Amino acid sequence: MSQALQQNQHLNMVRHPQMLARAEEIAPELYHRDIFPQAIVSAQKDEQKIHGWRPERVNTAAGFLQQEFAQGEHVIIDFGEHCVGYLEFACESVGSPPDAPAHLQFIFGETLAEVVEPFSDYSGWLSSSWLQQQDCYLDELPHRMRLPRRYCCRYLRINIVALSRKFRLRFTSLKLDTVTSASLVALPQCQTMDHPLKRIDEVAIHTLKNCMQEVFEDGPKRDRRLWLGDLRLQALVNDVTVKNYPLVKRCLYLFAAMTREDGMLSANIFVKPQVIADDTFLFDYALFFVDVLQDYAAATHDRQTLAELWPVAWQQIEIALARVGENGIVRDSSDWWSFIDWHEDLNKQAASQGVLIYCLNKALMLARLYDTGKVAFLEEQISSLKTASLRELWDAQSGFFTSGESRQISCASQVWLVLADVGTVESQQQLLVRLKSHPPEIQMNTPYMMHHYVAALLHVNEIEQATEEIKGYWGAMVEHGADTFWELFDPQRPDFSPYGSKLINSYCHAWSCTPSWFIRKYLL
């Protein structure tokens, strides 16, 4: 057990019923749409494909409903797009009267690999219960059924595990009742003539839509939770697309509804069967509550919500500032105290310093609007932290910011200190040029970190380079067949997973949807 979790367990969680009531007042409506099979496919081994498999069309959807299945056979259905919802099907026996139950196994996959590679080989460190499969025993035929669990897939494999030899099985109907709290009826068109950017925007919006459920989920397949880091990025894309501001507001109140004894916000929230804050507390994620609140207030001018949540935001500032050492730098530690990126070798100190300054700037915007008595204090803190960053972290010989006792150089450190606006515009531009020409060993592993890199480029007005990065990174996922953007993508290591298996990765993930924000806000 990490030192951080041991410390957290000594602090009680405090529920705030008024905040929870405010969140429940604005529970969202879910929109339903039926999605039917588009084709029957077989999986062909193909090492040229990113996960080693290629779908080959073998039958039409109509042909599937004419097919009769015997024990031991299987079928792979392609729904034609990434879906989140509930499977409904009807089937009947063919031949002699059924004299035994029908045992069916349903395996749901966001990628083809998930329905081909056996789950029995899974060796990742996340629970295998996240692998999407369900066994059904049908005692009577004909039978109509709706699976009670929500699933997330593009592909569905149906294994006919066991039947009597006297009959075969035929499906008479099958569909997914898909659900989302995102209404796309009034979605503004993406006014770009650049076809690759337009396609990237479409995939990004589909990613956001499928992650918008009763809260902004981090991923509809795995975790299905409200994470502060993901919420922050989803809220940005929401601003320029579906504009479901009540859902952003609900999520802010859910975080405020349960805090640690000292007031720190959890990194994520479980919503069902009741609202429970997780016992994971991260320096950067707690601070991002300030950022989400500032973005929400700027978009909606909702002064009542700002008045109720500003004290919560201010607590995160106070807790974070208490971690700053006498040298003006955030104190480092060896536990999982700050997220920044999925990288086991990444030192988080310098990047977390950048996050703190960035969020203090957001707090300053709110204070100027609502709490002017804190303006001078915030301005002083921001100036002091920037000065300390240049004095303590800058290495003139390498031309990079360093992090931790080992003076590690990473992409994340440079990106976050640019976003914190440390140094002059010219020095920030030069730093990002050097980052491209002399890439450090500690690179970026996730679309989450890539978002911040692109944001840093736009911060210094490098629009052409930002566009190239969006096309080169998210565009590569599209070229690999993604119809929603993935949790993890390293072009040099296509099977990379911090969890020990690509099968457990999320292939529709909230923090990956931000190209729509970049495209619609900066590139049109």
Kindly tell me the number of DSSP H helices and DSSP E strands found in the chain: 16, 16
Residues 16, 44 share a domain: no
Residues 314 and 373 in one domain: yes
- Please check the confidence at residue 6 and state whether its pLDDT lies above 50: no
- Same domain? 245 vs 142: no
Split into its structural domains, the chain has a count of: 2
Q: What's the CATH number where 238 sits?
A: 1.50.10.10
Q: How far is CA 334 from the centre of its chain?
A: 25
222 and 140 belong to one structural domain: no
* pLDDT single digits (tens) 281-304: 999 999 999 999 999 999 999 999
Distance CA 203, CA 193 (A): 16
Q: C-alpha distances in angstroms, 329 versus 279, 283, 321, 402, 409?
A: 26, 14, 10, 12, 16
Kindly report the backbone phi and psi dihedral angles of residue 101, in degrees, each rounded to the nearest multiple of 5, phi listed first. -65, 155
Q: Are residues 310 and 331 in the same domain?
A: yes
The answer on 125 and 194 residing in a single domain is: no
pLDDT computed for residue 12 by the predictor: 85
Range of the domain at 230: 3-29+182-523
Among 160, 180, 200, the domain-final residue is 180
The string of pLDDT tens digits covering residues 31-56 is: 999 999 999 999 999 999 999 999 99
Residues 161 and 247 in one domain: no
Question: What single-letter amino acid sits at 267?
Answer: A
Q: Residues 134, 276: one domain? A: no
If asked whether residues 366 and 382 sit together in one domain, one would say yes
Do 274 and 142 share a domain, yes or no?
Answer: no
The string of DSSP letters for 178-217 reads: EEES---TTPPP-----HHHHHHHHHHHHHHHHHBSSSB-
Same domain, 469 and 407: yes
Coil, strand or helix: which one is 49?
Answer: coil
Residue 10 reports pLDDT greater than 70: no
Average pLDDT over residues 341-353: 97
User: Per residue in 161-195, pLDDT tens?
Assistant: 999 999 999 999 999 999 999 999 999 999 999 99
Examine the fold and report which residue of 127, 151, 180 is the final residue of a domain before the chain moves on: 180
Using the structure block, give the residue that is written with the tokens 């008595």. 373
Burial 472-493 (b: 16+ CB within 10 A, else e): ebbbebbeeebbbbbbbbeeee
pLDDT for the residue numbered 389: 98
pLDDT value at residue 11 = 65
Average pLDDT, the chain: 96
Confidence of residue 493 (pLDDT cuts 50, 70, 90): confident
Question: What CATH number is associated with residue 137?
Answer: 2.60.120.260
With a CB cutoff of 8 Å and minimum separation 6, the contacts of 214 are 27, 28, 30, 181, 271
Find the range with the poorest average confidence among 45-54, 305-314, 434-443: 45-54
Phi and psi torsions of 281, nearest 5°:
-125, 120
Residue 299 sits in the same domain as residue 395: yes
Residue 524, pLDDT score: 86
Q: CB neighbours of 403 closer than 8 A, spacing ≥ 6? A: 332, 347, 348, 349, 350, 351, 393, 409, 410, 413
Residues 56-106 pLDDT 10s = 999 998 889 999 999 999 999 999 999 999 999 999 999 999 999 999 999
3-state secondary structure 453-466: HHHHHHHCCCHHHH
What pLDDT digit, counting tens, does each position of 330-340 carry? 999 999 999 99
